[in-house]
């Protein structure tokens, strides 16, 4: 798992944007390792890109999305995932994305600008 961390600052918050060639999150353990590292650096806001997350995450029958998002919630790390989610046509994933966006702890957005705005807004 090799990736680049770009730090963004907005409204007194530090946001870690993780990017790379290939998968960064291939399992719940990958997510937990990243969260642990960021948590101990005092970073509580993360931006990931859809292409860096295992496709299994977007197949809700695997349970991966729920497990990973629960870990982000437990550690109180805000997450925004940037991508084109229009290709997901199954009702279950569309409802999952909609529900996540409504609650705001984890959001699925179309641009980096939206991601920065969402992770820094009041929960």
Q: Give all domains of the chain, ordered by start, each with its CATH number.
A: 4-118 (3.30.750)
What digits encode the pLDDT tens for the residues 68-123? 999 999 888 999 999 999 999 999 999 999 999 998 899 999 999 999 999 988 64
Residues 6+ apart with CB under 8 A from 104: 118, 121, 123
31-73 residue pLDDT tens: 999 998 888 888 999 999 999 999 999 999 999 999 999 999 9
Residues 6+ apart with CB under 8 A from 116: 8, 10, 15, 47, 80
HEC profile for 60-106? HHHCHHHHHHHHHHHCCCEEEEECCHHHCCCHHHHHHHHHHHHHCCE
């Amino acid at each position: 798992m090799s990736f680049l961390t770009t730090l963004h600052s907005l409204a007194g918050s530090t946001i870690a944007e993780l990017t790379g060639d290939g998968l960064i999150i291939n399992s719940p353990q990958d997510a937990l390792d990243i969260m642990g590292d960021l948590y101990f650096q005092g970073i509580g806001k993360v931006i990931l890109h859809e292409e860096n997350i295992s496709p299994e995450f977007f197949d809700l029958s695997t349970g991966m999305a729920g497990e990973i998002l629960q870990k982000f919630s437990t550690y109180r790390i805000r997450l925004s995932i940037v991508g084109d989610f229009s290709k997901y046509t199954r009702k279950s994933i569309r409802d999952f994305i909609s529900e996540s966006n409504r609650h705001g702890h984890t959001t699925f957005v179309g641009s980096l600008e939206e991601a920065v705005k969402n992770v820094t807004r009041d929960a």
